[in-house]
Chains A and B, each alone.
Chain A
Amino acid sequence: MTDHLLLIILGMSVVTLIPRWLPVWIMDRITWPDWAREWLDSIPYAALGALIFPGILSVAKGEPWIGLAGGIVAAILAYWRLHIMYVVFGSILAVMMAKSF
C-alpha cells in the first residue's frame, strides 16, 4: 500500500511540475507577436473569472446561494477599497451567518 502510494505521489509530482516548468523553457526561446502579448496580459483576468465562477457555488454542498452570498459580500467590500484581509474575513463571516439560517 505504502509503496504503491509513493509511486502515485511521484507520478503526480511529475505531471504537476511539467506544466509549471515548460513556460520557463518556452519563454526564453520564442519572441511573441503583439497579439500574443496582449493575450498573455489578459490571461490573469480570464483566469480569475474562470476560477471564481461557477466554483464559488460549491462552497456549501447543495446550497449554491451561500457561496454566492459570500461572493457578493466580498465584491462589495472590495469595491469599497477595503484591504484584502477585510474582504476575506468579511466573506467568511457572511458564509458562517448564511449557514446558520
Chain B
Amino acid sequence: MNQKINKVYHLIKKGVIPIAKNTHTQKITVKSEFTAGVLSAIPIVVGYLPIAVAFGMIAQQSGIPPLLSVCMSGLVYAGASQFMAVNMLSTGAGALEIVLATFVLNFRHFVMGLSLMNKLKKMPVAWKIAVSSGITDETFAVASLKKDMIGKWFLAGLVLTSYVTWVIGTLIGGLLSQVIPPSISESMSVALYAMFIGLLIPAVRENGKWGMIALISMGLNTVLGMFLSSGWSIVLSTVLGGLAGVWLMRRKKG
C-alpha cells in the first residue's frame, strides 16, 4: 500500500499524473502573482510619480487644461514624447510634426516588444495586446530581466500599477500646479536611471557579457546621438548593441 502511494507520488511529481487544480488554490496563485507584479512596480512608481506630477504642472502652465493632460497621459502613455509635445505646442509646431516626432521617439518600443513577446509565446493573444499597450522603457526592463517565468498576472500587476501611477500623477500635477514649484521634482528625475542601473548591475555580476553589450550600446548611443534625434539613436543603439551580443555569444561558443 505504502509503495503504491509512493509510486503515485512520483508520477505526480514527474508530471505524468496531472493534479486537478481546485479553484481555491488557483485563486491564491493569481492573487500572489498579481501582488508580486504590483510590488515589482514600486521602483517604477517612485520614478514615475514625480515625473507625472511635473508633466501635469508643466502642461497646466503652458495652457493645457488638466482634463486634457490626463487624457494625454491615459491615451499616449509615453513620458518623453508628452513633454516634447507640450514643448512643441508652446513653440507653435503643427499637429503632423508633433505626431511624427512622437512616432520616431517611441519606435524603440517596437524592438523591445519583439524581445518581450519572444518570451511570452504561450500567453493568450488578448493578454499580449493588453500587456504590449503598457510597454514602456521601465516596464520592459523589469519584465524582461525577471529571472523566473513571467506569468500573465504578474505582468498585469506590473503594467497596471505603472499605468495608473502615470495617469493619477498627471492629475495631481495639474491640480497642484499653483501650489508646488516644479524644482522639487527635479532631484527625483535620477530615480528612473537609478532603477535601470539597479537592474543592469546584478545581471552583469552574473555574466560579464551583458555588461559588455550595455557598454557597447552606451558608446553607440553617445556617438549616434550627435547625429540623430534621441529616439532614433536609442533604437539604433539597441538594435546594434543586441547584434554585438549575438557576436559575443558566438565567439564564446566557438
Which residue numbers of A lie inside 8 Å of B, CB to CB? 1-2, 4-24, 26-28, 32, 35, 37-56, 59-60, 67, 70-71, 74-75, 77-79, 81, 84-85, 87-92, 94-96, 99
A71 touches B43 (CB 8 A): no
Cα A71 to Cα B194 with chains together (Å): 6
Question: Smallest Cβ distance from A15 to chain B, in angstroms?
Answer: 4
B151 contacts the other chain (Cβ, under 8 Å)?
A: no
Interface with A: B9-17, B23-31, B210-218, which one? B210-218
In the complex, per-residue mask of B87-122: 1 if CB is within 8 Å of any chain A CB, else 0: 001000001001110110011111111111110010
Of the candidates A4, A49, A55, A60, which one forms a contact with B216 in the assembled complex, judged by CB atoms under 8 Å apart? Answer: A49
Within 8 A of A (CB), among B200-254: 200-203, 205, 210-211, 213-218, 220-222, 225, 230, 233-234, 237-246, 248-250
Of the candidates B102, B117, B145, B217, which one forms a contact with A12 in the assembled complex, judged by CB atoms under 8 Å apart? Answer: B102
Of the candidates A27, A45, A74, which one forms a contact with B245 in the assembled complex, judged by CB atoms under 8 Å apart? Answer: A45
4 A-B pairs closest in CB distance: A42-B245, A46-B241, A23-B113, A49-B214
Which residues of B are found within 8 Å of A70, using beta-carbon distances? 190, 193-194
Cα A96 to Cα B191 with chains together (Å): 12
A24 touches B129 (CB 8 A): yes
- Kindly report which residue of chain A lies nearest to residue B189, judged by CB atoms: A59
Of the candidates B99, B132, B221, which one forms a contact with A15 in the assembled complex, judged by CB atoms under 8 Å apart? Answer: B99
B144 contacts the other chain (Cβ, under 8 Å)?
A: yes
B149 contacts the other chain (Cβ, under 8 Å)?
A: no
Interface of A is mostly: helix
Beyond A27-B118, A45-B241, A46-B242, 17 extra complex contacts between A and B, CB < 8 Å = A11-B99, A12-B72, A19-B107, A23-B113, A23-B114, A42-B248, A43-B111, A46-B238, A48-B200, A50-B220, A59-B190, A74-B194, A78-B197, A84-B43, A88-B43, A91-B194, A92-B190
B222 touches A44 (CB 8 A): no
Which residues of A are found within 8 Å of B102, using beta-carbon distances? 11-12, 15-16
Question: Smallest Cβ distance from B182 to chain A, in angstroms?
Answer: 12
Of the candidates A27, A51, A53, A60, which one forms a contact with B114 in the assembled complex, judged by CB atoms under 8 Å apart? Answer: A27
B114 touches A40 (CB 8 A): yes
